[in-house]
Structure 1
Amino acid sequence: MTTNSTAKPLGVPIPDLWKGAHRDDRARPRSRQRLLGPSSIGLCRRRAAYEVHGTWPTDLDDNKHGAILGTWLHEGILRVLREQYGAWTELELTDGVILGHADAYWAPDRSHPHRQALSHRATEGLQLSGVGVVEDIKTKSTRALDVVVRQGPSQAEWFQVHLYAHLLRTGGLKDHPELPTGEPLPVDVVRLRYVGREYGQVVVHQRPYDEDVTKQALAWAEDVLAAPEPEAMPRDLDGPGLSIICDNCPFRSACWNLDQLTDDRAPQTVLAEDTAAITEALGAYADAAEIESAAKKRKAKARKMLDAADPGTYGAFKLSWSGGKPRPPEPDPEAMIRVLEGLGIDIPLRPGGRTSRTISVSRVPETG
């Protein structure tokens, strides 16, 4: 990605922001220890296993603009929480197996371990209460933030913030100048704060700390740690082209054998290894097609019913309309062909390529 500029050329070099940003991002310290990070737990077991086994990434992209913007925004958010609201930020936590950094932590005032140490901080906005809170910050695109609004946090995100709470509660804090290290710190509430990268929207989810969620997360981690090699772990996501997480995974080529694909076949073909797997995929396709057909009919009827409805809020739903504006005139290919033929001019052609492959799946009638 080169620098785009409307500045007049003056013979003065213009630093390429994104080239430098990617170099800076790759130079950030990254642990090569074979410890699981809470942010990887609950996401994909094979990806986590690659990390645990110290596999070198096969895919380092130079188009991580959104992720880098998120990193810059994340740093600013933590500074505000630290300086304006008295949070302890970027706490290193580990139990020797899991290693992570909690974004923000507030200890309860009823049992604050180092209350006097706060005397040097601005206390006007200090957020001390009767409960301990650990918070994780997520920066999201507008589309991803909309998913959070509609569906709530993912299981992996709840796993992550619960594991931070667990490590704090079990004395996992390391090398901190103010808080006591190696001692349990109280956490009663876990919080996820989502911030939109485009417009700064903020969505917050919080809940009481739940020991059962932590147990599920630890069991997930134990499964990964027990794997003799990454390939022993299943792929928990749908793969490149179907999962944005897979699209941005640093191990996607190794995981999905992308270097071995031929004839533009989909990466997911590696999942159809034998007759049983193909039969299972056919069943999934047929089931989904039947559900999709029925859903399309319901959706089409509902759309017709709403055609005259005014925008507004109806119960738990909000209706809005877009489009409906007249389009400008467009070129008419058929008329152009007739004009060229009438003038006796050969019609320019380009390679036609191949038609797209279509699939037909039907159920074989059962025999008595």
Structure 2
Amino acid sequence: MTIHSFDSDPVSLSIDASVGHIAGLTIRDGARILTPLHRAPWVDDPAVTFPVGTAPNVQRLSGDFFCAPFGRNDIEDAPSHGWPANSEWDYMETNAHDDRTTIVFQLQRTVMGAKVEKIITLIAGHPFIYQEHRFTGGEGAVSAAHHVMVHMQDGGDLAFSPKTRALTPADPLEPDPSRGRSLLAYPAQTTDLTAFPLAGGGVADLTHYPPGDSHEDFVTLVEAPEQSLGWSVVSRKAEQDRIIVLKCPENLPVTMMWMSNGGRNYAPWSGLHTGVLGIEDARASPLGHSNSCKENEFTRAGAPTAFELGGGRSIVVRQVIGACAAIQGESKLTSVSPDKDSLILGFECGGIRALNYAPEFLQRRSGCASG
């Protein structure tokens, strides 16, 4: 394990280069130090043993990691979520200029023959990390996703940019009751995020987490067309903060939610992995690499699920993660919008809050989309 640490007030960041995961992230908001991302309890336990075949991305499960492909790897020989989430990255350089610090890593392996770089920018005074992953060369098609993970001690509220629908795949994550349990209906879908069908009847409100006890679930949200900014905000109840995840919808047209709340009985999960929500912004089908590279229910609805490599071009995927403290008197969050040099949070009560932000990072002309 090799950890690289970086600081640019208000952000402190560490990268586990053995798998490319964000090992730690703290963000200062006034007198408070926020810890927005999750780290699995077994990662720092030297006594833990893993079942044979446990992928490195599970063994080192932390913060956020980049998947290429997303999920099942059934084209190239690699673990689930691909080599970017499971193998070593080389630290290349750090460049500091004015108020910006840019950190570059390169994956030791290739993905479908493509070189993969991880470029992280920190901007002084900004409560965000600006992430870019770049594919150069290669051949064929590959799906991709970020895998942000948030832990909630006592649940919280979820808010999203407009979505056309939410849907589950044909099979639950844990179909065998001896190994685990899922709550949502599979397959099922709805256009109302507050009323997703449950397996046992009734509905779950996907704008609140968790929807129940002891469950492992997965649902995909499809971005509404013509959105210039895709966003997800987790307002944590006990922690009294807000975790903000931003994307370019044209680049990453779906957001997959992984609900891991004590629903797996087997090691290393052992019913202890609770209160975790994965926010997985993606250009992918949840059914794996092969399914992502052909026509599927998402592509038929106008949501591409893979990037085409090669052709003398680079493929760029960008995403932003940040956080701020919740302020007394703020009501339910209802909107997120970029301004000239800030991100504006809007609340049900009519109030707003501005955070230092660089909106050009997720604009098409800055390389948010492929090309």
- Shorter-normalised TM-score: what interval? under 0.3
Decide which structure has greater helix share. 1
Give 1 or 2 for the bigger CA radius of gyration: 1
TM-score by length of 1: 0.23
Decide which structure has greater strand share. 2
